[in-house]
Structure 1
Amino acid sequence: MPHALERLKAYALLVRLHRPIGIYLLLWPTLWALWVAAEGWPRTDVLLIFVAGVVLMRSAGCAINDFADRNIDPHVARTRERPLAAGLVSPKEALGVALALCLAAFVLVLFLNRLTILLSLVAVVLAASYPFMKRLHYLPQVHLGAAFGWAVPMAFAAQTGEFPPTVAWLMFIATVLWATVYDTFYAMADREDDLRLGVKSTAILFGESDRMITGVLQLLLLWCLWLVGREAGLGLWYWLGLALAAGFALYQQYLIVERQPAACFRAFLNNHWFGAAVFGGVFLDYALRA
């Protein structure tokens, strides 16, 4: 039994259950989509399935990511204590954990309609391929955005039973832009290690223009979310939530001014509050309607 508990603890660390920021960053756009699709509180079964799916797929993504980075993480101070890098979990175990979590998520999707099941196949491909993109091109952050954003059309399909409308694709684009921004902040914190190890990222691609480009992307993100609000007919509470989110975006730009790794990482973490502000606006707008 003690051995089994040690294995479970190692697996929990592998999938980052002690660091739920990734869950939040995937959860917020999923909740945006469910509430807008339902024009208020979504169906309980759909909500529970998607929340559980978010936890499972983010956890699976962490396991796949560590498998992909098994020869890199031991050489980076921030990641060398991860279970796979530290030798607490084998590569075969990491793949097994990822596969088990993906299968569990797929079983949940089988309780939804056929369109959502078909869309989920794209989600699996995006999630499984993302960790390997940093070796192929300088835009893995965009790939991450597509993987996280695919929850949006899936949520609309699950809630409405129909092909996602224009507002869903606007929200998908917003999520891609958002993930590109916050994962660039994350990559800015690791830029020196990535350059040394030959890992590609938007932080390296943008170079000295990183602050300007992330600022422009944040403006485009806010514009997309403004279009979402207009298309969905949202009102005052949503605009207040969006204004608060804009304030968080400005704060993030302030944090990265000196490009200090710790401050860049704080800017990444602050995006949890950006997503929460947008959801708070959506939730209150529907909840307080006459």
Structure 2
Amino acid sequence: MAAARSGNLLMRSLPDSLVPYAQLMRLDKPIGTWLLALPCFWSIALAASPGHLPDLHMVALFGAGAVLLRGAGCTINDLWDRDLDARVERTRTRPLAAGTLTPRDAIVALAVQLSLGLVILLQLNDYSKVLGASSLLLVATYPLMKRITDWPQAYLGLTFNWGALMGYAAAAGACDWHVVLPLYGAGIAWTLVYDTIYAHQDKKDDKVVGVKSTALLWGERSKAWFVMFAGLCGLGLAGTGWASGAGPAYYAGAAAMIGHLAWQIRSVDLGNGPDCMAKFVSNKEAGALLLAGIVADRLMAGV
């Protein structure tokens, strides 16, 4: 419990009885929530009228939704993986693996998170409700992917970047597919870079327990794959910029994000777990650079 108390302010302020539930939702590790929320924020900002900030009500709804959906996804993941997690050094302290919560506790927590998520979803337009409901299949099945494919990171990309579609639909009333599809593709390529860096932390344990990842698949060639997917991310962002009629501020933000990815690829030590984690966490800043460019571009478009 002391380790949990050394985390963020929220974790330190919780009563002892709620700490395992917060750990189950990964509230002590908010980077996953940021990576889920940022594609939502990008698309909400892209849908803003010229000269206007993104719809802050939508930003708040999607921010809260990201916390709940990420928490639900982690809960599902831990229910599937509780036996595997107990055999992996980095994950053996998770509540289900460590026995601080029972599967029944986790199922009750999952029901609460999904119910609160439904409250948020019902506040959106019908188009967004359909998109949101469709994402639940991805969320529920992602934890299985590392057992059946060498590309679970690609499936995570499909899941984590769904907000690139939903955010735009919620803010604009429907998707402009010419804008959101390349943005979605860019997000998937970005995820393949950052989550493979993350997976390199666990490659030794993953070999032992028999789960799959692009870190194991690519091995020593990982950085070459990173370069390719960073390039595809850049192409997707360029496609979104062209389709949306974006100006220089957007492209500056996109270039800054790709530059951040280039720094990660060049400097990451894939044999050093703490460095892999640090580079993974830095993707919050990478995504924020693009968001800043989109917001600036929409504001400047009204001048």
When normalised by structure 2's length, the TM-score is 0.90
**1:224 Cα deviation (Å)?**
0.9
List alignment gaps of at least 5 residues for structure 1. none
What's the counterpart of residue 198 of structure 2?
A: 186
Indicate whether 1:15 and 2:25 are aligned: yes
Task: Indicate conservation of the 8 Å contact 2:45/2:55, yes or no.
Answer: no
CA distance in 2, matches of 1:193, 1:170: 35
Which structure ranks higher in relative contact order (CA pairs < 8 Å, sequence separation ≥ 6)?
A: 2
What's the counterpart of residue 64 of structure 2?
A: 52
What's the counterpart of residue 195 of structure 1?
A: 207
Which of 216, 239, 254 lines up with 1:242 in the alignment? 254
**1:287 Cα deviation (Å)?**
2.2
What's the counterpart of residue 227 of structure 1?
A: 239
Which of 174, 178, 199 lines up with 2:186 in the alignment? 174
CA distance in 2, matches of 1:161, 1:250: 35
**1:285 Cα deviation (Å)?**
1.5
* Distance change >3 Å, CA 222–CA 270, structure 1 → 2: same
CA distance in 1, matches of 2:166, 2:38: 14
CA distance in 1, matches of 2:76, 2:214: 21
Letter in 2 for 1:45: H
Letter in 2 for 1:285: D
**1:7 Cα deviation (Å)?**
2.7
What's the counterpart of residue 136 of structure 1?
A: 148
Identity %: 36
**1:123 Cα deviation (Å)?**
1.0
Tell me the alpha carbon deviations over residues 59-114 of structure 1, each in whole angstroms, 9 at most, x when there is no partner.
Answer: 11111111111001111111111111111011121122122212211221111111
Task: Indicate conservation of the 8 Å contact 2:25/2:72, yes or no.
Answer: yes
CA distance in 1, matches of 2:91, 2:16: 20
What's the counterpart of residue 216 of structure 2?
A: 204
The size of the alignment, in residue pairs, is 287
Indicate whether 1:98 and 2:110 are aligned: yes
Q: Which moved more, 1:34-43 or 1:265-274?
A: 34-43
**1:243 Cα deviation (Å)?**
2.2
Task: Indicate conservation of the 8 Å contact 1:130/1:143, yes or no.
Answer: yes
What's the counterpart of residue 278 of structure 1?
A: 290
CA distance in 1, matches of 2:270, 2:169: 43
CA distance in 1, matches of 2:108, 2:193: 31
Aligned-partner SS, 2:29: coil
Aligned-partner SS, 1:85: helix
Tell me the alpha carbon deviations over residues 128-148 of structure 1, each in whole angstroms, 9 at most, x when there is no partner.
Answer: 111121111111111111111
List alignment gaps of at least 5 residues for structure 2. 1-13
Tell me the alpha carbon deviations over residues 224-267 of structure 1, each in whole angstroms, 9 at most, x when there is no partner.
Answer: 11211121122222222222212211211123355322222222
Letter in 2 for 1:13: Q
CA distance in 2, matches of 1:100, 1:225: 36
Indicate whether 1:262 and 2:274 are aligned: yes
Task: Indicate conservation of the 8 Å contact 1:53/1:105, yes or no.
Answer: yes
Matches within 5 A, 1:5-154: 5-39=15-49, 40-154=52-166
Task: Indicate conservation of the 8 Å contact 2:251/2:293, yes or no.
Answer: yes
Letter in 1 for 2:45: W
Instruction: Give the alignment's Cα RMSD to 1 decimal.
Output: 1.6
Q: Which moved more, 1:92-101 or 1:275-284?
A: 92-101
Task: Indicate conservation of the 8 Å contact 1:126/1:146, yes or no.
Answer: yes
Aligned-partner SS, 1:112: coil
